[in-house]
């Protein structure tokens, strides 16, 4: 990745300055050598790598910091922003930016970029994988085999007896024909839609605003979307408006055979309510990559075969880290050369 | 005499040696009301004695993975004129013997294409992204104790070789494209109008592939077709997904390759000697195991049932069969 113009080696003092904002325990991914590659483009200031106390380091450099990269969930508050009067750009390294005070950024004229587009394929792949797993009980059946029950029971129970006849558990279903409601049709939601369409699913969505160029039916309320769906896939950002957007009403509207897939943020769902509904059989199943209080997962879920649990890794592959790195560098370079940013978080 | 409690003696008789899965679910709805089922498995007599005693005038028999129709069984059914497969496979039927004796054979091909394709993709995503292994990790409390789970690998950009491009293989290909995978295939013959690169044999396909999805039938040519040579060609990161028949893969060699890390992982709904699972596979996190049911859905079963009943009805009323295999 050559700098614009010449191939000269800049000394680090001439490279644009970028602050690294993180908790000490959160570091750049070691592959693909993020930090080393960033250092060839930017002069990184990392307070945790200095013996100087954090506040003093920040204060000393404050007037030369126009951009920062934030790693991990460490919040960026209005108070913190006050310490950096020249800040013009925050580059988030995650899809979600709910840990950043966006209104404060807006009022200070600070642009924020996220990383959704770097992860969109991976998260969509995982959402579809979780959905197929729940519908077809792939992980549950794998447990059944590994517990050496197959030779004993002769077959994995496909269903249950209802009035004398063995019937299928309702959710051992074909994907084709299922109505899928996507909550949040951004870069991740669009990739989910593309994949599930190939399986023959019907797609509908809810978003902050209707998207005119999109052929799928739009529902202004998540409850209406749920009432018309067999599956909900949560792909939206966590904001004040979307906190617990999946509540009891929505779950009831989705129905006894409904399935929820969450690859957004745990707090999009009223988790306590969801767990109760799952335990009582008031909803068909769930595939969850995120939880309200990670890494704590409600113990009741461990008893359930219609739930698939994923340790917040839907976004993560070596390939998505490469894409993330390129996106970070591209956004920073665009900023420092006054060009349009690639993944600007739009105003609400 | 056992089994003489038939509701109506006028219904045509159909022999069932062991109940196929669709019978377990749809006996009342579809089959019993139209046919008189001769249920060999409910008898205490050994099979050959049962057949000799009760099945002398039986013209039709159901068959599935659990109930093979061998030359020996055919010999005990002097009036047999049709074998109706009640599941996707027909490898358990002695086709040569049927052909020789003019016994018709029907299958349920096409019915499970979408079900199978969904399942194959589900297993592929699971192995590549470690979904079941990570689920185990969370359920064992390890996310809390040990932190993040190791990374999986992206689907997009992977070259996926489909072994057998029939209805099932095509349904798999269509889904793979939506994930950004590159589809390649091997089949007995190249298929016209298909946009995917064709490979004349599985070995060549494996060399160029990151994953193989087995979508073909089991027969003399395909038995143990996936052997050590093919697996080494697939390589250390290579994944195999099999929801067709266990014996298409040389299981002993596959287990060795997996244990030695010579291939990257496997998703297996079928094995050579179900329900026996090679012990070594239980130790491996890069293997997803499924007890020969991942393809089953209510929709698929209903459709299979309708086809089975349709073929039987056509046979008993001298009409053309719906899905005869004998023309191949």
CA-CA distance, B288 to B290, in Å (whole number)? 7
Placement of tokens 């839609």 in the chain: A193
CA angle B241, B246, B252 (to 5 degrees): 95
Taking CB atoms and an 8 Å limit, are B152 and A158 in contact across chains? no
* Contact residues for A302 (Cβ-Cβ < 8 A; gap 6+): A309, B139
Of these residues, A37, A106, A108, A312, which one is catalytic? A312
Distance (Å) from the C-alpha of residue B324 to the closest C-alpha of chain A?
26
Is a pLDDT exceeding 50 seen at residue A348? no
Taking CB atoms and an 8 Å limit, are A313 and B148 in contact across chains? yes
Closest Cβ opposite residue A166 in set B24, B156, B300: B24
Taking CB atoms and an 8 Å limit, are B121 and A316 in contact across chains? no
Distance (Å) from the C-alpha of residue B66 to the closest C-alpha of chain A?
11
CA-CA distance, B89 to B304, in Å (whole number)? 12
Distance (Å) from the C-alpha of residue B124 to the closest C-alpha of chain A?
9
Q: B159-163 and B60-63 as β-strands: parallel, antiparallel, unpaired?
A: unpaired
Q: Which residues of B touch A188 (CB under 8 A)?
A: none
Chain B CA closest to residue A166: B25
Q: How far is CA B258 from CA B232, B278, B286, in A?
A: 11, 11, 9
Is a pLDDT exceeding 90 seen at residue B212? yes
Bridge partners, residue A246, by sequence: A269
How confident is the model over B65-78, as pLDDT tens digits?
Answer: 889 999 999 999 99
Question: Which of B213, B214, B160 minimizes the C-alpha distance to B182?
Answer: B160
Distance (Å) from the C-alpha of residue A268 to the closest C-alpha of chain B?
20
Max mean pLDDT among A19-28, A269-278, B110-119 falls in A269-278
Is a pLDDT exceeding 90 seen at residue A159? no
How confident is the model over A182-212, as pLDDT tens digits?
Answer: 999 999 999 999 999 999 999 999 999 999 9
Q: Which residues of A touch B147 (CB under 8 A)?
A: 295
pLDDT band at A149 (very low <50, low <70, confident <90, very high): confident
How confident is the model over A306-326, as pLDDT tens digits?
Answer: 999 999 999 999 999 999 999
Which carries the bigger pLDDT value, residue A28 or residue B206? B206
Q: How far apart are the first and last CA of chain B?
A: 41
pLDDT at A32: 61
Active site residue B224: no
pLDDT at A169: 56
Is a pLDDT exceeding 60 seen at residue A170? no
- Quick one: average pLDDT of A259-278? 97
pLDDT at A11: 55
Which carries the bigger pLDDT value, residue A180 or residue B297? A180
pLDDT at B103: 97
Enumerate the H helices of chain B as residue ranges.
21-26, 47-54, 71-75, 95-101, 113-129, 131-139, 142-146, 167-178, 202-207, 228-234, 251-259, 298-316
Burial of B145 (0-12, 13-18, 19+ CB in 10 A): exposed
Q: Which residues of A touch B288 (CB under 8 A)?
A: 138, 142
CA-CA distance, B118 to B112, in Å (whole number)? 10
Burial of B285 (0-12, 13-18, 19+ CB in 10 A): middle
CA-CA distance, B79 to B75, in Å (whole number)? 10
Closest Cβ opposite residue A146 in set B144, B274, B289: B289
Of these residues, A36, A79, A241, A294, which one is catalytic? A294
Bridge partners, residue A19, by sequence: A45, A68
pLDDT at A31: 63
Active site residue B274: yes
Is a pLDDT exceeding 90 seen at residue A96? no
pLDDT at B300: 86
Closest Cβ opposite residue A130 in set B25, B131, B148: B131
Which of A132, A144, A178, A291 to mutate against chain B (most B CBs within 10 Å)?
Answer: A132
- Quick one: average pLDDT of B13-29? 84
CB A65 within 8 A of CB A17: yes
Placement of tokens 């599941």 in the chain: B87
A–B: how many Cβ contacts below 8 A?
175
Burial of B327 (0-12, 13-18, 19+ CB in 10 A): exposed
Count Cβ neighbours within 10 Å for each residue of B84-113 and write b for 16 or more, e otherwise.
bbbbbbbbbbbbebbeeeebbbbbbbbbbb
Q: How far does CA A42 lie from the centroid of its chain?
A: 27
pLDDT at A184: 96
Identify the three-state secondary structure at position B26.
helix
CB A283 within 8 A of CB A271: no
pLDDT at B155: 96
pLDDT at B110: 83
Which of A313, A314, A316, A324 to mutate against chain B (most B CBs within 10 Å)?
Answer: A313
* Contact residues for A6 (Cβ-Cβ < 8 A; gap 6+): none
Torsional sign, CA B270, B272, B275, B276 = negative
Question: Which of A97, A87, A98, A29 minimizes the C-alpha distance to A58?
Answer: A87
CA-CA distance, A284 to A270, in Å (whole number)? 16
Closest Cβ opposite residue A129 in set B125, B180, B276: B125
Active site residue B293: no
pLDDT band at B9 (very low <50, low <70, confident <90, very high): low
Q: Which residues of A touch B174 (CB under 8 A)?
A: 198
Is a pLDDT exceeding 70 seen at residue A274? yes
Q: How far does CA A80 lie from the centroid of its chain?
A: 25
Of these residues, B2, B42, B274, B299, which one is catalytic? B274
Mean pLDDT of chain A: 90
Question: Which of B19, B27, B31 minimizes the C-alpha distance to B67?
Answer: B19
pLDDT band at A13 (very low <50, low <70, confident <90, very high): low
Q: How far is CA B301 from CA A12, A110, A122, B24, B270, in A?
A: 67, 58, 33, 10, 18
Distance (Å) from the C-alpha of residue B101 to the closest C-alpha of chain A?
34
Taking CB atoms and an 8 Å limit, are B298 and A122 in contact across chains? no
Closest Cβ opposite residue A145 in set B115, B151, B290: B290
Is a pLDDT exceeding 60 seen at residue A10? no
CA-CA distance, A171 to A285, in Å (whole number)? 8
pLDDT at B220: 93
Identify the three-state secondary structure at position B287.
strand
Report cis status (omega within 30 of 0) of the bond before A295. yes
pLDDT at B297: 84
pLDDT at B296: 82
Taking CB atoms and an 8 Å limit, are B294 and A136 in contact across chains? yes
Closest Cβ opposite residue A316 in set B126, B137, B151: B151
Q: How far does CA B13 lie from the centroid of its chain?
A: 27
Taking CB atoms and an 8 Å limit, are B119 and A126 in contact across chains? no
How confident is the model over A212-227, as pLDDT tens digits?
Answer: 999 999 999 999 999 9
Of these residues, A265, A271, A280, A326, which one is catalytic? A265
CB B244 within 8 A of CB B90: no
CA-CA distance, B220 to B212, in Å (whole number)? 20
Question: Which of B42, B38, B86 minimizes the C-alpha distance to B65?
Answer: B86
CA-CA distance, B306 to A140, in Å (whole number)? 29
Taking CB atoms and an 8 Å limit, are B151 and A151 in contact across chains? no
Percentage of chain B exceeding pLDDT 90 = 81
Closest Cβ opposite residue B282 in set A122, A146, A320: A146
Taking CB atoms and an 8 Å limit, are A122 and B154 in contact across chains? yes
pLDDT at B326: 74
pLDDT at A161: 46
Taking CB atoms and an 8 Å limit, are A295 and B144 in contact across chains? yes
pLDDT at A195: 97
Is a pLDDT exceeding 90 seen at residue A172? no
CA-CA distance, B191 to A276, in Å (whole number)? 52
Distance (Å) from the C-alpha of residue A320 to the closest C-alpha of chain B?
8
Q: Which residues of B touch A145 (CB under 8 A)?
A: 277, 289-291
Taking CB atoms and an 8 Å limit, are B153 and A128 in contact across chains? no
Please tell me the pTM assigned to this model: 0.90
Distance (Å) from the C-alpha of residue A80 to the closest C-alpha of chain B?
29
DSSP assignment letter at B252: H
Q: What is the 3-state secondary structure (H, E, C) of chain A?
A: CCCCCCCCCCCHHHCCEEEEECCCCCCCCCCCCHHHHHHCCCEEECHHHCCCCHHHHHHHHHHHCCEEEECCCCCECHHHHHCCCCCCEEEECCCCCCCECHHHHHHCCCEEECCHHHHHHHHHHHHHHHHHHHHHCHHHHHHHHHCCCHHHHCCCCCEEEECCEEEECCCCCCCCCCEEEEECCCHHHHHHHHHHHHCCCEEEEECCCCCCCCCCCECCCHHHHHHCCCEEEECCCCCCCCCCCECHHHHHHHCCCCEEEECCCHHHECHHHHHHHHHCCCCCEEEECCCCECCECCHHHHHCCCEEECCCCCCCCHHHHHHHHHHHHHHHHHHHCCCCCCCECCCC
């Amino acid at each position: 990745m050559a700098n614009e113009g010449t191939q000269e080696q800049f000394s680090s003092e001439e490279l644009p300055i970028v602050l690294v904002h993180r908790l000490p325990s959160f570091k750049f991914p070691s592959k693909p050598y993020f930090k080393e590659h960033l250092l060839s483009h930017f002069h990184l200031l990392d307070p945790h790598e200095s013996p100087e106390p954090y506040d003093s380091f920040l204060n000393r450099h404050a007037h030369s910091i126009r951009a920062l990269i934030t790693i991990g969930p460490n919040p960026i508050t209005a108070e913190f922003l006050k310490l950096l009067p020249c800040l013009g750009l925050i580059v988030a390294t995650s899809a979600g930016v709910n840990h950043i005070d966006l209104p404060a950024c807006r009022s200070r004229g600070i642009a924020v970029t996220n990383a959704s587009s770097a992860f969109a394929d991976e998260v969509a792949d995982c959402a579809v994988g979780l959905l197929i797993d729940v519908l077809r009980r792939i992980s549950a059946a794998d447990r059944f085999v590994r517990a050496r029950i197959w030779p004993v029971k002769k077959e994995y129970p496909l269903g249950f007896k209802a009035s004398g006849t063995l019937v299928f558990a309702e959710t051992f279903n074909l994907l084709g024909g299922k109505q899928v409601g996507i909550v949040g049709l951004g870069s991740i939601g669009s990739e989910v839609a593309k994949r599930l369409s190939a399986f023959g699913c019907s797609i509908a969505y809810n978003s902050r605003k209707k998207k005119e160029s999109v052929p799928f039916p739009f529902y202004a309320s998540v409850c209406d979307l749920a009432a018309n769906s067999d599956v909900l896939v949560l792909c939206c950002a966590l904001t004040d408006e979307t906190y617990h957007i999946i509540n009891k009403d929505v779950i009831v509207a989705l129905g006894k055979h409904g399935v929820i897939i969450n690859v957004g943020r745990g707090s999009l769902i009223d988790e306590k309510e969801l767990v109760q509904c799952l335990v009582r059989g008031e909803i068909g199943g769930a595939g969850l990559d995120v939880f309200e209080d990670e890494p704590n997962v409600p113990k009741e879920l461990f008893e359930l075969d219609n739930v698939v649990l994923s340790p917040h890794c839907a976004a993560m592959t070596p390939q998505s880290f490469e894409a993330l790195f390129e996106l970070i560098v591209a956004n920073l370079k665009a900023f420092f050369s006054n060009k349009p940013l690639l993944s600007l978080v739009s105003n609400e | 005499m056992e089994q003489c409690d038939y509701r109506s003696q006028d219904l045509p008789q159909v022999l069932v040696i062991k109940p196929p899965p669709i019978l377990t679910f749809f006996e009342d709805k579809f089959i019993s009301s139209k046919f008189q089922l001769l249920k060999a498995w409910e008898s205490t007599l050994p099979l050959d004695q049962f057949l000799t005693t009760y099945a002398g005038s039986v013209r039709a028999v159901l068959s599935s993975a659990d109930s093979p129709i061998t030359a020996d069984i055919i010999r005990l059914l002097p009036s047999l004129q049709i074998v109706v497969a009640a599941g996707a496979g027909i490898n358990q039927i002695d086709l040569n013997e049927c052909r020789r004796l003019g016994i018709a054979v029907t299958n349920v091909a096409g019915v499970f294409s979408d079900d199978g394709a969904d399942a194959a993709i589900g297993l592929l995503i699971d192995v590549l992204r470690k979904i079941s292994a990570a689920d185990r990790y969370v359920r064992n409390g390890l996310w809390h104790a040990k932190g993040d789970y190791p990374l999986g690998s992206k689907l997009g950009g992977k070259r996926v070789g489909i072994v057998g491009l029939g209805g099932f293989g095509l349904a798999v290909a269509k889904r793979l494209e939506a994930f950004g995978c590159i589809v390649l295939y091997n089949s007995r013959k190249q298929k016209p109008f298909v946009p995917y690169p064709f490979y004349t044999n599985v070995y060549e396909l494996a060399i160029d592939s990151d994953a193989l999805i087995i979508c073909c039938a089991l027969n003399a040519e395909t038995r143990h077709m996936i052997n050590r040579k093919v697996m080494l060609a697939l390589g250390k990161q290579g994944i195999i997904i099999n929801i067709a028949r266990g014996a298409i893969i040389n299981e002993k060699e596959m287990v060795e390759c997996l244990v030695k890390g010579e291939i990257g992982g496997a998703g297996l709904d079928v094995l050579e000697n179900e329900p026996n699972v090679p012990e070594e596979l239980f130790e491996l996190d890069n293997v997803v195991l499924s007890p020969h049911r991942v393809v089953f859905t209510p929709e698929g079963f209903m459709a299979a049932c309708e086809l089975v009943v349709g073929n039987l009805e056509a046979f008993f009323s001298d009409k053309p069969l719906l899905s005869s295999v004998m023309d191949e």
